[in-house]
Chain A
């Protein structure tokens, strides 16, 4: 992206600081999304200062930047939405977790997704636990209770999955993962 150049040193400094901060905030996005967002921001600043009626570059630039607001506020929702889109396009857990983190304040949907993701993490931990401690980790069903994990208080005879523990939990975890991705895609269509 071609950055703007100013004759006045102060204007250049203010502009560079604004763009540096914006770039930093967009770093979390995919390259194409990041460039698209920053290029549009740059284009808006360019059009704004060229139409401004003030005298002096600093005043022109400040007018445009005041209109946009602080990059934190201006970019927050856009970055969060773009990240959610990226998460819905890919199966990459990194993007999903980043999207959750950015969108958690945007409503109950992301809170539910975060809880589902936590559950997914538990299943993966249970599989690792079963590999490391095969005799202790299990799915126990007793009278009026059931438990996934390991405990000294449960009766080992209550374990119901045995050698099927890893395949069953893996299938459940995969199902949950596809459910999370599906929910993201449904949200994207809304």
Chain B
């Protein structure tokens, strides 16, 4: 029962914070989809499904948070790089602030 509860809760947290995680990684620079998944894995140990990441990137693009550009490669297979827009950088700061406040509140409750 405990394991099941934690698994469900973790999945909800993961879903809820994925956009924050993606935006936070993109604050570090521009990445293409595959690289972004690797970066997320490296920082968070989260296994992000490709079927979740690409639709999310499209939504963020639609909302004006990220932009993308195709960059030709010597292999002949171009990469699509994503980066934060100016609005996206403001969104990232606002999310940081909210996350900090949330964390602060949790620490207070736990004391």
Chain A at the B interface: mostly helix, strand, loop or mixed?
A: helix
B93 contacts partner chain A, Cβ-Cβ < 8 Å: no
Q: Hey, which chain B residues are within 8 Å of A40, CB to CB?
A: 33, 54, 80
Task: Bits for B66-84, please: 1 = Cβ < 8 Å to A, else 0.
Answer: 0000100001111110000
Judge whether A39 and B50 touch: CB under 8 Å: no
A47 to B55, CA, bound (A): 19
Judge whether A39 and B78 touch: CB under 8 Å: yes
Nearest-CB residue, chain A, relative to B47:
A67
In the complex, which of the residues A42, A47, A68, A82 contacts B35, with contact meaning CB atoms closer than 8 Å?
Answer: A47
Judge whether A39 and B80 touch: CB under 8 Å: yes
Judge whether A69 and B51 touch: CB under 8 Å: yes
Interface size class of A (residues with CB under 8 A): 20 to 34
B90 contacts partner chain A, Cβ-Cβ < 8 Å: no
Judge whether B58 and A43 touch: CB under 8 Å: no
Judge whether B50 and A67 touch: CB under 8 Å: yes
B19-54 interface (Cβ within 8 A of A)? 32-35, 49-51, 54
Mark A residues whose CB is within 8 Å of B: 2, 4, 36, 39-40, 42-44, 46-48, 51, 67-69, 73-74, 77-78, 81-82, 85, 188
